[in-house]
């Protein structure tokens, strides 16, 4: 694996031996690597430096990986690869719902770790570069998507979306009135081959709908087309 740029990666894990092993591996792949052994130090580091990827363990002292992830997502869409010693599906679902981009269960092979790192960085770079020329402000009745500032407003009040929710909404906005299959959405937003696991897509869209179509809102934006996918209806009245 060869990386032409000196991108910054932050490793956050209280296992110093593992951190040393992963750091040595990433340095050989031409990354700059910082290591922090708890979430508080990691959050302080994120304020001072821009990272292309954060590798974040769940079980840590002071604040755990989930709480650290919540704090990260308040201000950053940096890709986050979570590490866990558990195989519990609930933990993975919780992490994805909080904004994690990928999961890796310990123990793992360095080659798999390296592949996940490269994939996440490539996806993030591709998405950001691919939309650079399309940055604009979208208006759909009482919904406003400001892609210049990566902010969403409903009735002039800002709505907090995690990175995947925002990227799905932006993809809908760029394809209004089209029926989009789960495969199309997954490959466009996750930049990976669709493997017919709909749970992640459906979870993101369900949360997105609850945020932009709250109780009392008179407009509907995302329509479910049974057996086909979803359609962004540009704010039809309910």
Q: How far apart are CA 92 and CA 97, in angstroms?
A: 9
Residue-level pLDDT at 15: 92
Average pLDDT, whole number, for the chain? 84
Hey, which CATH number is domain 8-130, 3.40.50.2300, 2.60.120.430, 3.10.20.600, 3.30.365.10?
A: 3.40.50.2300
- Residues 209-228 have a mean pLDDT of 86
Out of 1.10.1740.10, 2.30.110.10, 1.10.8.60, 1.10.10.10, the CATH code matching 135-237 is 1.10.10.10
Of the chain, the percentage scoring pLDDT greater than 90 comes to 35
Cβ distance 208 to 168 under 8 Å?
Answer: yes
Q: Check residue 141 and give its pLDDT.
A: 80
> What's the confidence (pLDDT) of residue 236?
67
Provide the greatest CA pair distance for the chain: 57
pLDDT exceeds cutoff 60 at 235: yes
pLDDT in tens, 126-150: 555 444 445 577 888 888 888 877 8
Contact partners, residue 215, CB within 8 Å, separation at least 6: none
Its pTM stands at 0.57
Q: State pLDDT tens for residues 4-55.
A: 447 899 999 999 999 999 999 999 988 899 999 999 999 999 988 889 899 9
Burial of 17 from C-beta contacts in 10 A (0-12 / 13-18 / 19+)? exposed
Question: What is each CA distance from 147 to 14, 153, 168, 169, in whole angstroms?
Answer: 37, 11, 13, 11
At 168-196, the pLDDT tens digits run 999 998 888 888 998 889 888 887 776 66
**Residue 124 confidence (pLDDT):** 64
| DSSP run (H or E) holding 57 | strand 53-57
Q: Is the pLDDT of residue 58 over 80?
A: yes
Domain boundaries, the chain: 8-130, 135-237
């Amino acid at each position: 694996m060869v990386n032409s740029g000196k991108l910054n990666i932050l490793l956050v894990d209280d296992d110093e031996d593992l951190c040393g092993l992963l750091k040595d591996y990433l340095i050989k792949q031409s990354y700059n690597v910082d290591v922090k052994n708890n979430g508080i130090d990691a959050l302080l580091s994120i304020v001072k430096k821009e990272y292309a990827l954060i590798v974040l363990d769940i079980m840590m002292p002071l604040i755990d990986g989930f709480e650290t992830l919540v704090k990260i997502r308040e201000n950053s869409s940096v890709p986050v690869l979570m590490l866990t010693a558990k195989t519990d599906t609930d933990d993975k679902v919780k992490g994805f719902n909080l904004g994690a981009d990928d999961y890796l269960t310990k123990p793992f092979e360095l080659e798999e770790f390296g592949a996940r790192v490269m994939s996440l960085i490539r996806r993030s770079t591709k998405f950001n570069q691919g939309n650079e020329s399309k940055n604009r402000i979208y208006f759909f009745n009482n919904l406003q998507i400001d892609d210049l500032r990566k902010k969403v407003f409903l009735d002039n009040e800002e709505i907090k979306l995690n990175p995947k929710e925002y990227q799905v909404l932006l993809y809908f906005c760029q394809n209004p009135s089209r029926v989009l299959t789960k495969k199309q959405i997954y490959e466009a937003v996750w930049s990976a081959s669709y493997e017919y696991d709909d749970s992640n897509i459906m979870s993101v869209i369900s949360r997105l709908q609850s945020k932009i179509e709250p109780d009392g809102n008179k407009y509907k934006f995302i329509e479910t087309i049974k057996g086909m996918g979803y359609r962004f209806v540009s704010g039809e009245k309910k």
